[in-house]
Amino acid sequence: MYAIVEIAGKQYKAEAGKHIYVDKLTGNAGDKVTFDKVLLLAKGSDVKIGTPTTGTKVEATIKDQVRADKVIVFKKKRRKGYRVKNGHRQPYTQITIDSI
């Protein structure tokens, strides 16, 4: 059994016991979160599709607040002496799907 869930504007495939990295959510490690925007629910050959489906929710637990690997942003204009180097680390939340 799995579900397609919309979390912070992006769609993720959720299965019980699966770990997912999503855009940063408010909360600390151990907090419970519930997602109501279930777009698809599949149980064997029975598939329910909705925008979102009614009466279905996905419950998860926040495991950790993490940051992705650093991405280097380098800008340069030749012959002008213009060079800018920046780095960026995107914040993510690691969640574990408890139940659908």
- Give the pLDDT score at 27: 86
| Residue-level pLDDT at 88 | 95
Contacts 24+ apart (CB under 8 A), 2-6: 2/42, 2/100, 3/38, 3/39, 3/40, 3/41, 3/42, 3/56, 3/58, 3/100, 4/38, 4/39, 4/40, 5/35, 5/37, 5/38, 5/39, 5/58, 6/35, 6/37, 6/39, 6/52
pLDDT along the chain (100 residues), means of 10: 89 91 89 90 85 82 93 96 96 91
The pTM for the full model equals 0.76
Give me the pLDDT at residue 29, please. Answer: 87
